Amino acid sequence: MSVEIADDLKTIGDQIAGLTLKDAITLSDYLEDEHGIKAASGGGAVMMAPQAGGPGAEAEEQTEFDVVLTGFGDKKLNVVKVVKNITGASLMDAKKMVENVPATLKEGAGKEDADKIKSEVEEAGGSVELK
């Protein structure tokens, strides 16, 4: 499927593609400051900033979380046991996860489940981030 692009848009696109990194950053700052257009997180596209009261103005509440072990404190064995129970991994694999932090314990967990896992790990002496 081919899309027809107007010549003036092709020219703008070619100019943007030819920018140096410094010029691209300057352009991004200008678009944000002057027009409220923020660069998307991938950096390759731009999106309009939501207008006050308009669609998208309210942030969507996050419903799924990745539970990431970020540390094990001075109670490594306790944390290893909890990680083993949470992940169902072997004792050796759980030990490796704990020793190689950060380690994702669960992906796409619901809020209640993520909070429960975080609580269990923290009670054992570890530290967790919900992303």
Kindly give the confidence (pLDDT) of every residue in the chain, 131 residues in length, as a single tens digit, with 9 standing for 90 and above: 567 888 888 888 888 888 787 777 788 788 888 877 876 644 444 444 555 555 554 556 788 888 999 998 888 999 999 999 988 889 999 999 899 989 998 888 888 898 999 999 999 999 999 88
- pTM above threshold 0.85: no
Distances (CA, A) of 97 to 14, 63, 74, 81: 47, 25, 16, 11
Q: Within 13 Å of residue 19, how many CA atoms lie on the same side as its CB?
A: 15
Query: Is CATH 3.30.1390.10 what the domain over 64-130 is classified as, yes or no?
Result: yes
Q: Hey, where are the domains in the chain?
A: 7-48, 64-130
Distance between CA 76 and CA 42 in Å, rounded? 37
Cα 95 from chain centre: 26
